[in-house]
Amino acid sequence: MDSKPNQLHIYFLPLLSPGHLIPLVDMARQFARLGVKASIITTPLNATNFSKTIERDKQLDIEISIRQVKFPSVEAGLPEGCENAASVTSPEMSLKFYKALDLLQQPVEQLLEEDRPDCLVADLFFPWATEIAAKLRIPRLVFHGIGFFPLCVYHSLRTHKPHKKLESDSEAFIVPDLPGTIKLTKRQLPDHFQEVNHLTELIDKAIKSELKSYGVIVNSFHELEPAYSEHYRKVMGRKAWHVGPVSLCNRDNEDKAQRGRAASIHEKCLSWLSSKKPNSVLYVCFGSLSLFSTAQLLEIANGLEASGLQFIWVVRREKTYDGEKEEWLPEGFEKRMEEKGIIIRGWSPQVLILEHEAVGGFMTHCGWNSMLEGVTAGVPMVTWPLFAEQLFNEKFLTDGVRIGVAIGSERWSRWFHENDVLVKSEAIQKAVSLVMVGEEAEEMRSRARALGDMAKKAVEEGGSSYTDMNRLLEELRLNCP
Ligand code: UDP
């Protein structure tokens, strides 16, 4: 389809990890609905996860398409078919995965040269995107995948290095020079702050390239974290736009059920949820990357059973060890829980579940997207952060907006050994009960609901994110050749 006169053409280059790819695809769809021509660059296997959604958009005359580049898995030493961070299962594979991402520079550059878009929105993890954009004389916008609060915490840690002055890993320190009092310990910090690893250099490059870019586009809304977006813009001096919550661009059930990956279980979940009372079900999910040990899964199962609550629990383990069926579940668990719960193995239709009125709480690893989706659905959360910036996000939920109860996992943990247990069943039982029942739970729920209402208003016509998005488009139109 030919572009209309004055129509902006924006290229989106998402990191190949669900927590970055899903929101950037949503964002591209959101911009396309505002009249932009949107092109999403991804690899063949990743494309299969959202091509149907894009096809449906096209049938509505929305100008959006997928541009494919081959993922150099084999060249980087990865098994064929490993095209997404969710297939990475060890630190060694992670290193190769980032090497493969770096190899995408040339094919991406070639695509952009052929197509000559007006702007490139690229994930932070592609530092070379700023260079490509500069060659084409177009603006590059950075997408971090996280909100203003964690962006400000990261910036403060990098600038002031408070963790360098501590006597021990467990000593608490206040994150300097930020609105509010945020207390952390060294062991809550991402591993690249604790030791130099393959991400140290990449993040360094990424931050330098961000400083040379046109600005930053954030999946958040003004009313959620006003002090931090102001700090980011005024104190840190960055140009930034709120465009979220982007998950709200999925309006019908088909879009929601297929978001990220088709979830065949969605009809069963919806009919089960519809048979339950409002706010009576706990949703348990730890994002797209976390892989718990068998011992930890057993503790979760015991904690859920002891709580007596109804639940939907997502477990990323699709295969069992040694061919043994359900080895990680306590004896007879599924039979006993027939009425009480559903276990989803693999991928869940998260936004569809969260927004159901029967869901009254969310046990989450505090990935930015999950957290924002919980906020948007207006549910209080049990916070169980594991890695990345999740331990910062936990502080925001528990001490900032006060809609979370911490489970007590206070160590940054990315990879697990088979017997590792971070949280015992007793602590799980206690935290989930606090979030689901009682006066405190009701107070948190009403604060969460108020935030959820603001989130929905933000993306409606005239809302804060809607206005910010249109302001950005106006500015890009003025700056485009
Ligand atoms: N997600 C989903 N179903 C799942 C697991 C995850 O839809 O079974 C989605 C979730 O809704 C969110 C994203 O995947 O949009 C995960 O991003 P997040 O930032 O929460 O965590 P990450 O996976 O990056 O750790």
Q: Measure 417 CA to ligand 1 centroid, in angstroms.
A: 23
What's the pTM? Answer: 0.96
Residue 191 Cα to ligand 1 midpoint, Å, equals 21
Atom of ligand 1 nearest to the CA of 354: 11
CA of 455 relative to ligand 1 center, distance in Å:
18
Minimum-distance ligand 1 atom for the alpha carbon of 261: 7
Q: What pLDDT score does 471 carry? A: 97
408 burial (CB, 10 Å; 0-12 / 13-18 / 19+) is: middle
Q: What is the pLDDT of residue 153?
A: 97
Give distance in angstroms: CA of 286 to centre of ligand 1.
Answer: 8
Q: What kind and span of H or E run contains 299?
A: helix 294-307
CA dist 244 and 332 (Å) reads 43
Q: Which residues pair with 420 in a beta bridge?
A: none
Percent of the chain surpassing pLDDT 70: 97
260 vs 257: CA distance, rounded Å: 9
pLDDT at 135: 97
Closest by Cα among 188, 131, 126 to 154: 188
> Cα separation of 399 and 269, whole Å?
32
ipTM of the complex: 0.99
How many CB atoms are located within 10 Å of the residue 234 CB? Answer: 9
- Cα separation, 429 vs 446, whole angstroms: 22
The set of protein residues with a Cβ atom below 6 angstroms from ligand 1 is 18-19, 22, 259-260, 285, 287-289, 314, 347-348, 350-351, 367-370, 373
Q: Taking residues 415-432, what's their average pLDDT?
A: 92
The pLDDT tens digits of the residues spanning 49-97 come to 999 999 999 999 999 999 999 999 999 999 999 999 999 988 899 999 9
Closest ligand 1 atom, CA of 260? 7
3-state secondary structure of 325: coil
Return the C-alpha torsion angle 459, 463, 464, 470, nearest 10.
Answer: 80
Q: Report d(CA 94, CA 85) in Å as an integer.
A: 8
**CA gap 480, 354 in Å, rounded:** 40
Beginning with the edge strand found earlier in the chain, give each strand of the sheet holding 310-315 in spatial order.
Answer: 341-345, 310-315, 281-285, 359-364, 381-383, 404-406
Nearest to residue 422, comparing CAs of 292, 321, 317, 329? Answer: 292
CA distance 478 to 205: 29
pLDDT score, position 318: 63
Q: Are 394 and 269 in contact (CB under 8 A)?
A: no
**Measured distance CA(163)–CA(157) in Å, rounded:** 8
- pLDDT band, residue 193 (cuts 50/70/90): confident
- Ligand 1 atom 24: residue of nearest CA: 19
Q: Which of 125, 362, 370 to mutate to test the pocket of ligand 1 (most atoms within 8 A of CB)?
A: 370
Domains of the chain (ranges, CATH numbers): 9-244+459-479 (3.40.50.2000), 253-456 (3.40.50.2000)
For 10-36, the pLDDT digits (tens) are 999 999 999 999 999 999 999 999 999
3-class DSSP assignment, residue 430: helix
Mean pLDDT estimate for the chain:
93
DSSP secondary structure, 206-245, as one string: HHHHHHTSSEEEESS-TTTSHHHHHIIIIIS---EEE---
Which of 288, 315, 372, 387 has the most ligand 1 atoms within 8 A of CB, as the residue to mutate?
A: 288
> What positions carry a catalytic annotation?
20, 123
**Ligand 1 atom at shortest distance from the alpha carbon of 287:** 23
Please tell me whether residue 42 adopts helix, strand or coil conformation. Answer: strand
Residues paired with 112 in a beta bridge: none
Atom number in ligand 1 closest to CA 259: 7
Give alpha helix (H) positions in 137-289: 148-160, 191-194, 198-211, 226-230, 253-257, 266-274
DSSP secondary structure letters along 132-143: HHHHHT--EEEE
Ligand 1 centre distance from Cα of residue 364 (Å): 10
Q: What is the pLDDT of residues 298-347, one digit of tens each?
A: 999 999 999 999 999 999 876 544 444 557 788 899 899 999 999 999 99
pLDDT in the model for residue 267: 86
Nearest CA owner, ligand 1 atom 13: 19
Model confidence pLDDT, tens digit, residues 167-183: 899 999 999 999 999 99
Q: Which residues contact 463 (CB under 8 A, 6 or more apart)?
A: 221, 457
* pLDDT tens, residue by residue, 201-225: 899 999 999 999 999 999 999 999 9
Mutate to test the pocket of ligand 1, among 24, 123, 369 (most ligand atoms within 8 A of CB): 369
